[in-house]
Structure 1
Amino acid sequence: MNVEDFDFDLPEELIAQTPLQDRTASRLLVLDRKKNERADRTFKEIINELKAGDCLVLNDSRVLPARLYGTKEETGAQIEVLLLKQEQGHVWETLVKPAKRVKKGTVIRFGDGRLQATCIGETDHGGRMLEMEFKGIFHEVLEELGEMPLPPYIKETLSDQERYQTVYSKHSGSAAAPTAGLHFTTELLNMLKDKGVQIAFVTLHVGLGTFRPVSVDKIEEHKMHAEFYQMSEQTADLLNEVRKQNGRIIAVGTTSARTLETIMSQHGTYKECSGWTSIFIYPGYEFKGIDGLLTNFHLPKSTLMMLVSAFAGKKFMMDAYAHAIKERYRFFSFGDAMLIV
């Protein structure tokens, strides 16, 4: 299958640069796979699309302020570091700019030396392995010195850093937000609960590998980066009960979908577990863990576009995207949403 099959023309002005003041004020494109129908709604109207017995599965990962600006100890040169994944101890896989200035043995200092990083190696993809030295608790140091790593297609600065976090974010570890969840407020979630919609949580720490461009021509040759996931016993029990009662399990975001599909593929049931997943879902994949998907609008030729095409059918999805572009929906992280059932 060719990567080019998932390309489309997206006007740059449709890329949302800032979040709406009201999280729930975004638009919602509702897609019914069985009826082959679509409907334009507002996000608040999702309450009319869900019913008692349904279960929303939310990814409660929290974005790390993972972008750091420091100086090279030897020369004082400015170095930008993006934390991707914590390895053993305080060693992190990172992206650095300019990479050519950071060799094995290079020391980078941040915040008057409160944090220091030593390069101990390079990765296959041009990244750097950095070993961190600091005083106190690492996440507290990071909260003080780091910045939110907004995607490169967002050019505007974010005045309120919490707008790139979901209202239910809990476990720090992501390099990017699980953006489908940005549309929810606590009030809307409570209204859904009052209607009888169940709310369950999983954790998948989003790595930038999810968003990296596909650099091969054939989809089958693309390799996904591994991301850490976790499901609690409470969530597993709830999801198994929802299935038993013939309720719909609706993943909020592709990260939740990939977590559920990983667990069902490995165990054939929902169960308490954790591990690393590099699952790559594209057309031809048979879904085992979800009955619906709430997601934002994705980049052309991205692995996320392939995932939603696998779930809804490629032609149906490409037609839906053409409709969204015609109707001036807002795209990507701070953009509008679609509900596929």
Structure 2
Amino acid sequence: MHIPDGYLSPQTSAVFGLAMLPLWWQSAARVKKVVKSRYVPLVALGAAFSFVIMMFNIPIPDGTTAHAVGGGLIAILLGPWAACIAVSIALLIQALFFGDGGILAFPANAFNMAVVLPFVSYGIYRLLTRNTALTSPRRMWAAIVGAYAGLNLSALATAIEFGIQPDLFHKADGTPLYAPFHLSQAIPAMMLAHLLIAGVVEGVLTGGVVAYLQRANVPLLRINAPEVPLTQAEVQRRPVSPVRAALVTLGIMAVISPLGLLAPGGAFGEDAPQDLDLGRYGLSAVPEGLAKYTGFWGRTLLPDYGGGSWWQYVLSAVIGIAVVVALVFGVTWLIGRLRGGEREAADLDAPPVRS
């Protein structure tokens, strides 16, 4: 779902940029409690997790690939506003350092994966877990359903953004200027990959982590659900350190990240212009706008995570994790400074309010 530069018109990118500015500002306001508490490392680790999980490409029967995002899990644990910041930072680093997603298209990618996905996932999860204990099996199933729906609606939003380009931006003879996919082509292609494969992976991954936390660290599930009381047994149980567990998980994911190279083909809508099947879309040449804006940002550190080299893929994962974590800490520090909130002792002892 990483839209490259050139597939969306500058006008479309500008609209999404204007839409995302107040959403990012609101995110900064709504996660104020998280910023001023000991849970900042969890936001950073959530962003790093999202970064790495998006490197694992999953083969799709039609010859393309897709990937999970992890935004639903972050939303369930820390709230959708925190997820918006975390996933946005992961997407920004992917675009700047590795050319995964465009710079001009960054606001659209952020809207799809950092807004639609976490808010839909969290909304469904909250709806299905009303009046349930933190250890209720219903929470695991709600996490699965919410994450599955969130990823698929995010994919649908991406398909619509692709599909409206030929109708809105074209030459006098109808030749598309940007993405050549019409709605009748983009929606089936995107939804096949995500309804059948990627959405299932996103749901199972999210539900699996929730089920693990129900056994290993129930208080972590309470960060974003402070109204749910803990039982005496849950209070007395010694929880597994979430930071330590997350660091181990990220380390393992970084080492095995080259598995993402095994998936043949590429994701729908992420082809380089020269790789487009022009005949399939009735074109004799690459659309002018697509050719013009492709490669708008040419200063990536490791383009395409090293271009197929397994060790460069691992290096990309390690660099990405480090930069994402550092940037989250920097952004949260800046949010705290800009919002002028003074750290109160009560904020450190009380769980954050639900986003």
Which TM-score tier does this pair reach, normalised by the shorter chain?
under 0.3
TM-score computed with the length of structure 1 as normaliser: 0.25
- Larger proportion of helix: 2
TM-score computed with the length of structure 2 as normaliser: 0.25
Higher RCO (CA-CA < 8 Å; seq separation 6+): 2
